[in-house]
A and B are shown apart, each in its own frame.
Chain A
Amino acid sequence: MADLRCPNCGRLNSPDTQLCDECGTRLMAEGVHPGEVPDWLAAIRAEGEPVAPPPPSSDWLSQLREADDSSQTGPPAGEPPSWVQGAGLADAAGEGEQVPDWLARVRERQAEEAEATGGEMPLGVPNLPEPAGSQPHESDSRPLPPLELPGLDETDSGVFYPPGSPKAGHPVTGVREPGVTDSGAFHPGSGVDLGAPAAGPTPSWLGQLEAEGAQPPPSLGAMPHIPALVKDSDLTGPQLPGDDFSAEALSLPEWLGQLGSEAATGEPVEGRPDLAPATLPAWLEAMRPVDAFRSSVEIGPEEEQAVEAAGPLAGLRGVLLAEPVVAIPRMASSGPAHLESNERQYAQAELMHRLVEEEQREVSPAAPRSRRVPIVRWLAAGILLAAAALPTVLGVPVFPLPPTVPLELDPLVNLIAAAPANRPALVVFDFEPGHAGEMQAVAEPMLEQMMQQGLAIAALSTLPTGALLADQQLTALGANYGYSSGQGYVNLGYLPGGSTGIQLWSQDPLAVPVSGYALPSAPDGTPLSSPWQVPMLAGVDEAADFGMVVVISSSAETARGWVEQTGPWLGATPLVLVMTTGADPVLRPYYEAQNPQVDGMLSGLPTALSYSMRLGRPGSAFGLWNAFGLTAWAAVVFMLLGWVPAFGAWVNQQRKLRGSQR
């Protein structure tokens, strides 16, 4: 049998308990014991199939149960009723032809009672004449998901009762559907008969219902609790005492949840010595059944009643309308004389009232989405494209070169100049292909300086495409300085694992498998299987054996990963970052710290241009400078134009405000 979830605190309890271990809330209706579950229901549960539970007692049903056993025996013990077995079978209409005997007897009994009460059926059973030939359609009706409200007692049947009325109060249910009685449980044949499906195409919603009906409805008592996505009270005010505090609700481990419950309660909950006298909220007082059942449908003299205009009853007078009977809520014929509730239950009832009221408030539908022509986007694209193309195509305008040289440039140039010639420099190409245009231009002057000095370069990347980009740039630049794969540089290839891979690499570079990219051949012409076989890497056993580590990255996070993971293993080997302007503020603290973890920085196109000027070699940065300048100005002007309508709207608003004040 499935565990019972407490409706109050959400804790899962063993199936044989009646009171919640956590908060003492009754888990099953009074008088209902685990051992007393009907056999047929127990059999269903044993099969693990969620089914509609039996309804709680109400007056009319009590009378039914008190009837002669010989005429109402129910389904055979240990065997689920046929309506349960047949629920949801594909052809509902066909199934509906076979009404089980016990159900037929129940209906007969209901009909007799209906006659005895002047045509009024008990609560939840609409008083409708059953059309000839109609059959129950179990699979066409399905129970609503239960309205799960905190603090309400939940019986085994999954029906919620207001506090203090665990047995016979008004169960709280959702909108009533055919087949769902007041008990909130599903009863075949007790609802409005939808009639046999007419010939013709089945509506999609009905088809979906039929398809879903192929599976038995979930047990209401086993339905889970889903708290609101954003609970206002959680954010703005204190919770109600006892609300939502369990291992499940906390998402704490069970051992921790038990610890929490002990700490929170401080005393056993079974005793409940603090029960307060019953207090009834006003709204509940109004709901309290005060007198016997009274028909809500006033039947006037026959001559005053309307003549039925359509349908098989056309021409008849005094036909009962279905809608008022079904739709008008009524009071129960009897109810508890005393409602026992304590302060906590009172508070929870108030909470429920608030929740129900909020539920009635409809969420305003979202404004219909209209297809708009993205004029602003097109304009921006056109202007930026023109600004980028104009200097490239026409050669105008020509912007002046940067007037100032960044402070970090000179130390970087000196650092490269001081790099040991007998140890290779590790250059990490950690940028996506989309950033290649910018990053290759920024890194170019530094790579050129390294090649001018004849430094051996080992390329590496934590991105799968980085090896290709490294090869592309080193091949292009190296052609000017006699560099080729194996002669001046070697491409170690792709290092998988992100930050973890960087850490493993830093601890022991040789232990991390890198396959290399475009590796040279051995002197005897055989292809090398590992980049570590290239002679220029012969002296490298650990990360600190590199003469310098340069990280070229478009992402501040990736660069941070290198700084933080490699730093402890580099020793005296300097670390240099080459990055975009946007990453500068994030990474600068590593450079300007009292004990810097970064020894050199190169960021952005203007700094790269200054670097190229310093080397006296016009690099890619020169070619991009004019396009960069004009595009930047175009973007600024375009954005400033956007402020004009915003300012206009603000002026209008102020004017209206002033007008209203007058």
Chain B
Amino acid sequence: MKRASTYLLAFIAGAAGVIVLLSYFLDLPYLSDISQWLKQTAVLLSAAALLIGLLNLVGVHLGKIGGQEKGWAYSALLVVMLAVTFTLGMLFGLDNRAVVSLFRYVQLPVEATLIALLAVSLTAAGYRLIARRPNLFNIAFMVSAVVFILGSAPWLILPGLAEPFGILRTWLAEVWAVGGARGLLLGVALGSITAGLRVLLATDRPYGD
């Protein structure tokens, strides 16, 4: 027998979703007000959930430190840096010079490096793709990628080829890619609708049984 809390949670989730959904279609003042309130509450709850997530993060790493697990020193560094940044931000605000320096000289270069690593990973993946999965789709994928890059990049030798490649790139991007993207967007939208409706109908209960 299902617990009463399951039904209650399902009812709350379904009702909130239906109200927000209906407010898009029906121009009723009370409905709109409730919908606005629900959305604002959702935004606030998401911020609160971020804090809970951070506590979860700290808890996991404190556990690793306590158990002296592999890489516990990195966990300790993470916890210390989180505490320092959090304290500085709370005490002095985000526009404080120390916080800005942490952002500018730690976070910014690290994230830029990760994006640079992304270029390396994608190049290595392009190197291996056809050898790993030799089929027509992958060959077409890689040929398109090469044409795109060459159509965007400048040409040092044979500069006369830059323009035809540019035209080919534009044709691929604005006809084939845009057409495909529209189709995929349509499919994604349909999938999102059904995923949301399943939650409203309480057949999917991500909040637990």
The answer to whether A and B touch in the complex, with CB atoms under 8 Å apart, is: yes
Residues of A within 8 A of B (CB): 3, 12, 250-253, 256, 374, 376-377, 380-381, 384, 397, 399-404, 432-437, 465, 467-468, 471-472, 496-498, 500-501, 503-504, 507, 517-518, 581, 584-586, 588-589, 592, 604-606, 625, 628-629, 631-633, 635-636, 638-643, 645-646, 649-650
User: Cα distance A517–B94 when bound, in Å?
Assistant: 8
Closest CB in chain B relative to A623 CB, distance in Å: 14
Closest CB in chain B relative to A463 CB, distance in Å: 12
* B178 touching A589, Cβ below 8 Å: yes
Chain B, 165-209, CB within 8 A of any chain A CB? 166, 173-174, 177-178, 180-182, 185, 201-204
Which residues of chain B have C-beta atoms less than 8 A from A497's C-beta? 39, 42-43, 46
Q: B129 — nearest CB in chain A belongs to which residue?
A: A642
With A636-B146, A639-B126, A639-B146 already in contact, the answer to whether A585 and B177 are too (CB < 8 A) is: yes
Q: A397 — nearest CB in chain B belongs to which residue?
A: B156
User: Cα distance A437–B112 when bound, in Å?
Assistant: 8
B87 at the interface (CB under 8 A from A): no
B9 at the interface (CB under 8 A from A): no
With A432-B111, A468-B100 already in contact, the answer to whether A588 and B150 are too (CB < 8 A) is: no
* A503 touching B39, Cβ below 8 Å: yes
Which residues of chain A have C-beta atoms less than 8 A from B126's C-beta? 635, 638-639, 642
Closest CB in chain A relative to B36 CB, distance in Å: 7
Q: B202 — nearest CB in chain A belongs to which residue?
A: A253
User: Cα distance A432–B203 when bound, in Å?
Assistant: 36
User: Cα distance A584–B148 when bound, in Å?
Assistant: 12
User: Cα distance A586–B163 when bound, in Å?
Assistant: 24
Q: A12 — nearest CB in chain B belongs to which residue?
A: B1
Selecting from B63-71, B72-80, B113-121, the interface stretch reads: B113-121
Instruction: Give the bracket for the number of chain B residues in contact with chain A.
Output: 35 or more
The secondary-structure label for the interface of chain B is helix
Q: A603 — nearest CB in chain B belongs to which residue?
A: B173
Set A432, A496, A642: member contacting B43, Cβ < 8 A = A496
Which residues of chain A have C-beta atoms less than 8 A from B182's C-beta? 589
Closest CB in chain B relative to A227 CB, distance in Å: 16
Set A381, A472, A585, A649: member contacting B178, Cβ < 8 A = A585
* A436 touching B124, Cβ below 8 Å: no
Which 9 pairs, one residue from A and one from B, show the smallest C-beta to C-beta distance? A642-B127, A434-B111, A399-B154, A497-B43, A632-B153, A585-B177, A646-B131, A639-B126, A434-B115
Residues of B within 8 A of A (CB): 1, 10, 36, 39-40, 42-43, 46-47, 94-95, 100, 103-104, 107-108, 111-112, 114-117, 119-121, 123-124, 126-131, 134, 142, 145-146, 149-150, 152-156, 159, 162-163, 166, 173-174, 177-178, 180-182, 185, 201-204
* A400 touching B155, Cβ below 8 Å: yes
With A251-B203, A433-B111 already in contact, the answer to whether A649 and B46 are too (CB < 8 A) is: no
Q: What are 17 of the A-B contact pairs (CB < 8 Å)?
A: A253-B201, A400-B162, A403-B162, A434-B112, A465-B107, A504-B43, A517-B94, A517-B95, A585-B178, A589-B178, A631-B119, A633-B153, A635-B123, A636-B146, A638-B123, A639-B145, A642-B130
* B166 touching A641, Cβ below 8 Å: no
Set A376, A435, A589: member contacting B128, Cβ < 8 A = A376
Which residues of chain B have C-beta atoms less than 8 A from A433's C-beta? 103, 107-108, 111-112
Q: Tell which of B117, B154, B180 has the most Cβ of chain A within 10 Å.
A: B154
* A402 touching B154, Cβ below 8 Å: yes
* A384 touching B153, Cβ below 8 Å: no
Closest CB in chain B relative to A163 CB, distance in Å: 28
* A384 touching B120, Cβ below 8 Å: yes
Closest CB in chain B relative to A385 CB, distance in Å: 8
